[in-house]
Amino acid sequence: MPASTVDIKFYLEKIKSLTDALLLRYLPSVDNEPKILHEAMKYSTLAGGKRLRPILAYSAFEYCGGNTDGDDLSIHYAMAALEMVHTYSLIHDDLPCMDDDDLRRGIPTCHKKFGTAAAVLAGDALHDVAFNLLASTGSTKVVVELAQALGTAGMIGGQMADVEAEGKDVTKADIINIHTRKTGALIKASVRIGAILAGASDSELEKLTRYSEKIGLAFQIIDDILDIEGDTETMGKPVGSDVGLGKATYPKAVGIEQAKADAQGLIDDAVVLVNEFDDNVLSELAKYIGQRNN
Amino acid sequence: MPASTVDIKFYLEKIKSLTDALLLRYLPSVDNEPKILHEAMKYSTLAGGKRLRPILAYSAFEYCGGNTDGDDLSIHYAMAALEMVHTYSLIHDDLPCMDDDDLRRGIPTCHKKFGTAAAVLAGDALHDVAFNLLASTGSTKVVVELAQALGTAGMIGGQMADVEAEGKDVTKADIINIHTRKTGALIKASVRIGAILAGASDSELEKLTRYSEKIGLAFQIIDDILDIEGDTETMGKPVGSDVGLGKATYPKAVGIEQAKADAQGLIDDAVVLVNEFDDNVLSELAKYIGQRNN
């Protein structure tokens, strides 16, 4: 196979910048009331982050032949919406009644900065802006896709199971179940929403669904590994916090070497699924997720 | 004018029963994981309540010629969705970091019964089920309608302003602004969503929008009056709690007699707006709101 012509680092930077511009455009203005809420929403959304979900949506949209020359705003709405719901989930997960985290991406969490009431409401409001944006695509199908990914069968169910599993012994099946819902559901929805907006065929959608399930699980396994072996400065949060909280993690269930091998196996499977073109962004993105260090 | 042939009490009971049946149908089963969340969602949603928002949506749908013989499920989806987002807002408003209420509708609030983490997540999950249901109508327009009513320009903005106004002197304009957003936005959206799903014309929609603004403000003014003059048992919560918390209320700004006169004026205006048929449910509903005692 020839060397890939995709410069993935440049691509990631480009779509990350586009996402940041879209977030600024679609977040409510901090000059309008309620200013404290609009500031809290902006603070947490623009605090950094890899913008993985918008990048996946955009790449899947492109892969399925979507129009990326800027005439079709639907993918822009979806990209901003996906990052906003991701931010909403982080704000609520960090609350004192949940994980009680003081730092996120190297800066104080939303409730440390703006108070708990404002943090709950800022999360709620991001949730609403996201649905408003997604509905603005004109497709009810993508609204249903997001609502199901976020609900008790998806992200919220995973978060509840995660809280309940703290300090308990968990099997590999338990942890795969938690990861698949808590992180995997939104990653899968990101890929599927991009594909649906591009008008993907059923078979394309089915293939990208399997791709997204593999990279979603690999992403979270690597997250668990980085919490053990990562660098506090690169990560922007203290390493070892999962162990400290008695969190259910994949390495805890199978050991760190097996965790690394399983993550690599998932990445390899994902690459095979999308390799019908010699080189493409989805395949490079899977490899990038396999090699990430923050 | 001849006596109304609409038996409003019978009508309210009928649509309330329909709403309860729809909520049971569309809430996730408590037999499925995460059981504690599904129980919390059911507990708070089925704890009682007047079902005013679903009733308004149904009545507006009927008024605009929507098909109510059960073949068109879109109004059913909308009715359940509106009650679920109303419940989500009550669960989050009652949280310790917000109004810190122990009782709601005569029973312990969601966080008192299930814990704060479960209450935050149960509210979040109801939010998602509601958007899933609304998108299932096939109309992105009603999804946008709800998202805007719930966001910082609507309900959440009103809740933030309400929290910030506690213990401060407020003018009549301030309190109208708070009420219009905190309670009024969702009441307006309920009427508009029913009308939109029935295929209302622009002029019909405009008329019902004005109707909904009047009854929404009247509803909340009467709520404030009942907190002063109401009966604890009939209300299912302690009266006088607004005064105790130093809440911004309409009677506080204009005096109780003026508050009563203004509420009646709004009801009269609302009745005039919808009286093109000799008697109809929307007109009776407005009068009912003017006379409610809980």
Give contacts of A 115-144 with B, CB under 8 A. Answer: 115-118, 120-121, 123-125, 127-129, 131-132, 134-141, 143-144
Q: Give me the residue spans of the domains in chain B.
A: 8-287
pLDDT digits (tens, 9 = 90+) for A104-123: 988 999 999 999 999 999 99
Q: What is the pLDDT of residue B239?
A: 67
What residues 78-97 of chain B have any CB closer than 8 A to a CB of chain A? 92, 95, 97
pTM: 0.94
Domain A8-288, CATH number (from 1.10.1660.10, 1.20.58.220, 1.10.600.10, 3.40.50.720): 1.10.600.10
Tokens 């690394």, located at residue: A260
A1 has a pLDDT exceeding 60: no
Residues from chain B that touch A164, judged by Cβ atoms under 8 A, are 34
Question: pLDDT averaged over chain B?
Answer: 92
Q: Among residues 137-196 of chain B, which lie with CB inside 8 Å of chain A?
A: 137-141, 143-144, 146-148, 150-153, 156-157, 159-161, 163-164
Residue A237, pLDDT above cutoff 50: yes
Q: Which of B132, B133, B164 to mutate to probe the A interface, most A CBs <10 Å?
A: B132
Cβ distance B138 to A137 less than 8 Å, yes or no, reads no
State yes or no: pLDDT of B279 exceeds 50. Answer: yes
Closest chain B residue to the Cα of A33, Cα to Cα? B157
Contact call for A131 and B140, based on CB within 8 A: no
Task: Look at A140 and B144 and tell me if their CB atoms are within 8 Å.
Answer: no
Confidence category of residue B234, pLDDT binned at 50, 70, 90: low
Confidence at residue B2, expressed as pLDDT on a 0 to 100 scale: 45
Interface ipTM: 0.93
The mean-pLDDT minimum among A200-214, B92-106, B138-152 falls in: B92-106
pLDDT, position A234: 64
Which residues in chain A touch residue B121, judged by CB atoms under 8 angstroms apart?
Answer: 92, 156, 159-160
Percent of chain A at pLDDT above 90?
A: 79
Give B-chain residues touching A28 at CB under 8 angstroms.
151-153
| Domain at B8-287, CATH homologous superfamily | Farnesyl Diphosphate Synthase (1.10.600.10)
Share of chain B above pLDDT 90, in %: 79
Residue of A nearest to B138 (CA): A140
Render pLDDT for B28-64 as a digit per residue (tens, 0 to 9). Answer: 999 999 999 999 999 999 998 899 999 999 999 999 9
Interchain CB distance below 8 Å, A140 and B138:
yes
Rounded CA gap, A113 and A105, in Å? 14
- pLDDT interval class at B216 (50, 70, 90): very high
What CA–CA distance (Å, rounded) separates B143 from B158? 20
pLDDT tens digits for range B59-96:
999 999 999 887 789 999 999 999 999 999 999 999 99
Span A191-198, mean pLDDT? 98
Q: What is the 3-state secondary structure (H, E, C) of chain A?
A: CCCCCCCHHHHHHHHHHHHHHHHHHHCCCCCCCCHHHHHHHHHHHCCCCCCHHHHHHHHHHHHCCCCCCCCCCHHHHHHHHHHHHHHHHHHHHHCCCCCCCCEECCEECHHHHHCHHHHHHHHHHHHHHHHHHHHCCCCHHHHHHHHHHHCCCCHHHHHHHHHHHCCCCCCHHHHHHHHHHHHHHHHHHHHHHHHHHCCCCHHHHHHHHHHHHHHHHHHHHHHHHHHHHCCHHHHCCCCCHHHHHCCCCHHHHHCHHHHHHHHHHHHHHHHHHCCCCCCCHHHHHHHHHHHCCC
